[in-house]
Amino acid sequence: MLGLTGNNVDHAEIRELLKNATALAKEKDFDSAIERLLRAYKLMETCSTEWGIKAFFRVARYHHLAGRYDVAIEWLQQLHDNVDTYADAREILYKEWGWLGKGGYAKVSKTVRNINKKCIKEEIALYKTRQAKIELREEKKSRLI
């Protein structure tokens, strides 16, 4: 931790969960990997460390690798739809922790919120393109059989 005030979430536990998720995904145990990620994300919600939006894309990736394309897209869409809710919750924590900016409040700027939304939209588009290619390959294979 950076010596900042805030919740004393065990950062080592978060790191361990993320590391375990990666190892489980390499073993193709995507459900267990996703479960570890979701536990890590829950801890991250009240942690003073900030993670970029891309850290939350791993759940979608593991669903996709498990063949659950629709669930992957749904995860990303929910992430997109909840950017403002998450940012508002962070602002409440900042206030509780005394991380006050000018005017006595700490904000997650509209620019940051919009960048996160744009990044998620780009990821959704990437997944849709990927899936279209996969489906095209499968269609070609089925014609050859």
Give the position of tokens 């939209």: 121
Q: How many residues are recorded in the chain?
A: 145
pLDDT of residue 96: 81
120-143: average pLDDT:
92
Kindly tell me if the per-residue pLDDT of 135 is higher than 50. Answer: yes
> Would you place residue 5 in the very low, low, confident or very high pLDDT band (cuts 50, 70, 90)?
very low
pLDDT of residue 100: 66
pLDDT in tens, 75-108: 999 999 999 999 998 888 888 877 766 666 678 8
CA distances 68 to 41, 52, 75, 115, 137, Å, are 20, 24, 11, 27, 17
pLDDT of residue 74: 97
Kindly tell me if the per-residue pLDDT of 10 is higher than 80. Answer: no
DSSP classification of residue 5: -
Kindly tell me if the per-residue pLDDT of 6 is higher than 50. Answer: no
Kindly tell me if the per-residue pLDDT of 47 is higher than 90. Answer: no
> Residue 31 belongs to what H/E stretch?
helix 30-44
Mean pLDDT of the chain: 88
Kindly tell me if the per-residue pLDDT of 130 is higher than 70. Answer: yes
| Rounded distance between C-alpha atoms, residue 105 and residue 19, angstroms | 35
> Residue 14 belongs to what H/E stretch?
helix 11-26
> Would you place residue 2 in the very low, low, confident or very high pLDDT band (cuts 50, 70, 90)?
very low
CB atoms within 10 A of CB 26: 9
CA atoms lying within 13 Å on the CB side of residue 54: 4
65, 46 contact by CB (below 8 A): no
| Rounded distance between C-alpha atoms, residue 123 and residue 72, angstroms | 11
Kindly tell me if the per-residue pLDDT of 3 is higher than 70. Answer: no
| Rounded distance between C-alpha atoms, residue 25 and residue 31, angstroms | 9
